Amino acid sequence: MGLQIGDIAPDFQAESTEGNIRFHEWLGDSWGVLFSHPKNFTPVCTTELGYTAKLKPEFERRGVKVVGLSVDAIDAHAKWADDIEETQGHRPNFPLIADADRRVATLYGMLHPNASDTLTVRSVFVIGPDKKVKLTLNYPASTGRNFDEVLRVIDSLQLTARHSVATPVNWKQGDDVIIVPAVSDEAAKERFPGGWTTLKPYLRVLPQPR
């Protein structure tokens, strides 16, 4: 069984395009996104890395560090970065781990033998400042990921961490949120003095806290 939500994200040491990384130390007190790529010089990965580079200011605004992983050696990453910049308009501006021995991929369950026993699937792990896994996603090699959705989930996770609220279906920034069931009405009065709307005892809705 692979990593699950709430598990401690495994620590590791690996070479990357920005030097040697000790993962937990590199994360520090930040949130993190670790995402894998089946192989260098593949078309879908090229588009993903370019778009993630474009989004880096959005991740930084949320206190999130981003790191990619490929099973190719470090010397192939620089040439690929040239291709990404040429075709996507953005050069990777975050570390890309070289995991040629697939050690990190194995730690994180990124190898799915029924899909490929040598290439990683498109995995995404969102990791909190407590080093616990907050989100896991796995895409097939043929399908590009939606990194706007990754940002949306991070926004939701951070709201929950700060304000004890949950986010409803299709929520986006600025929409109403839900008071989590663990917060009693008495505690909610102190936490949310502006009040809320009770649709059901278990469904209490209020404007997104700022």
Q: Could you give the CA distance from residue 27 to residue 11 in angstroms, rounded to a whole number?
A: 10
Q: What are the CA-CA distances from residue 182 to residues 99, 151, 199, 208 (Å)?
A: 41, 25, 17, 18
**What is the rounded distance in angstroms from the CA atom of residue 104 to the CA atom of residue 59?**
23
Strands (E), the chain: 13-16, 19-22, 31-37, 64-70, 96-98, 122-127, 133-139, 165-166, 177-179, 197-200, 203-206
Catalytic residue among 34, 45, 53, 119: 45
**Cα–Cα dist 125/135, whole Å:** 6
Long-range contacts of 74-78 (CB under 8 A, 24+ apart): 74/15, 74/16, 74/17, 74/98, 76/40, 76/41, 77/17, 77/40, 78/17
At residue 90, the 3 state secondary structure works out as: coil
Q: Please state, in angstroms and rounded to a whole number, the distance separating the CA atoms of residues 53 and 57.
A: 8
**For the CA atoms of the chain, what is the radius of gyration?**
19
> Is 45 designated active site?
yes
Residues acting as catalytic residues: 45
